Chains A and B, each alone.
Chain A
């Protein structure tokens, strides 16, 4: 039996050499159980060592291998070659981010946004270790658990046209993470986080395109988190008008 072949078209961009990106085509021996990342690894090992891309866990956990595959933001380690017609696959860097080299994008902006929303439990006064752990019921856990499974792959940003228009937009994953802490019964940082998520470039920029939740590989549903954050902000504002003192 002759060896089946998959064709991988990859964006090449080496800023020190190329003024413009271009596509390079590679022929890769095809196996049914191969994912796009396997194909990239084959290219790097056997065909062209200069191809540059990120990956680590190859099992959808580390979030480092995102790319636009046939135009859709996906994890390369979770996209099987057999899902694509003709076994011809185009792999480009994720949209909206500055490209450093080939498929590698600059994550700086996203990292800053993650830190900005203070992704840790804020207490008005930390209790002593002797007082024991902060307890939480499974019902309370349910309120935020889904939003805590983000792997920071940034696919949702690559899918978000609002972020594509205005990179100052806080965006899907950072808001989902903020909401995760806002809904955590152990957290007391609402007053600190609310002004951050509700500032001009915060949740109100979102016009409900919803593609972030479609592409998210972890079922985080950032679109839901953003709308819930809007609702919380609006009810809070109304409460503070009706009950200026102690309305929260």
Chain B
């Protein structure tokens, strides 16, 4: 298209509000934003652990009992679960398992992974706290 080169280039580029254009884009953005809570929670948890490392277990537990920390943890839990669920679903979409002639569906991967998550979490809690 050499003969067009001297005209100003017209091109519809991405605008900051691009993700509001449809539901899929918006859901993608929600998925990405929820990861922010995962990161924030990790920071808070690392701070709590540092209290334990430098001080005592009681400091750590008191920190965790702070209503603000409990409130944020609950919110973060909801968002983290949502974030995890989106990736479990995508995992099922990208890497379905062949069983006989049929392939597993994404929602099956979602449910299986959520069950595994609960089991692994319980084992971790049992190992660290309950035992």
Q: Which of A89-107 contact B (CB under 8 A)?
A: 92-93, 95-100, 106
CA distance A95 to B22 in the complex (A): 14
Cβ of A191 under 8 Å from chain B:
no
Interface size class of B (residues with CB under 8 A): 20 to 34
A142 to chain B, nearest CB (A): 11
Taking CB atoms, residues of chain A closer than 8 Å to B18 are: 161, 164
| B contact residues around A228 at 8 Å (CB) | 94-95
B12–A16 CB distance below 8 A: no
The stretch among B3-11, B43-51, B71-79, B117-125 that forms the contact with chain A is B3-11
Q: Are A15 and B8 in contact (CB under 8 A)?
A: yes
**Could you tell me the distance between the alpha carbons of A224 and B90 in the complex, rounded to whole angstroms?**
10
The residue in chain A whose Cβ has the minimal distance to the Cβ of B91 is A227
Q: Is A127 on the interface with B (CB-CB < 8 A)?
A: no
Q: Is the interface of B mostly helix, strand, loop or mixed?
A: mixed
Distance between B35 CB and nearest chain A CB, rounded to angstroms: 11
A209 near B28: Cβ-Cβ < 8 Å: yes
Pick from A15, A19, A96, A208: contact of B12, CB below 8 A. A96
State whether B11 touches A98 (Cβ < 8 A): yes
Proximity bits, B80-109, A CB within 8 Å = 1, else 0: 000000000010011100000000000000
The reply to whether B8 and A164 form a contact with Cβ atoms under 8 Å apart is: no
Binding site for A on B (CB under 8 A): 1, 4, 7-14, 18-19, 21-22, 24-25, 28, 32, 90, 93-95
A residues with CB within 8 A of B:
13, 15-16, 19, 21, 71-72, 92-93, 95-100, 106, 108, 161, 164-165, 207-211, 214, 224, 227-228, 231
